[in-house]
Amino acid sequence: MAVLPSIDRVNSDLSKVANGKRSLYMGINDKLADRNGRLFEGMMNAADKLHPTVQAYRVWADAFKPIVTELLGPPAKEDHAPAPTGDPSASLQPSPTAAR
């Protein structure tokens, strides 16, 4: 809690640097924490209180959706992305479509 004023200053400075074209600033603290900076229930992993939960990532993703839609257009009618593996090490595997 003692570092919240510093975080607020940094966020304020970042918001001033963002020009909306090459850099964007999106403040979502009000969706993750109350006015005093206390995180809402379920935002952080209960075991380590450091990593966001799926619920917190949803909040973050929902905030990004309008920006991504504005930049890339609406989602396609059909999703061609591969199914999620749930295995973080999957990113270490060579892509089946990678040039050999």
pLDDT tens digits, residue range 36-61?
Answer: 888 999 999 999 888 999 999 999 99
Predicted TM-score (pTM) of this structure: 0.63
Strand, coil or helix: 44:
strand
Pick the closest to residue 55 from 15, 21, 14, 46 (CA basis).
46
Tell me what pLDDT residue 93 has.
63
CA distance 40 to 29: 10
Q: Is 80 a residue whose pLDDT tops 80?
A: yes
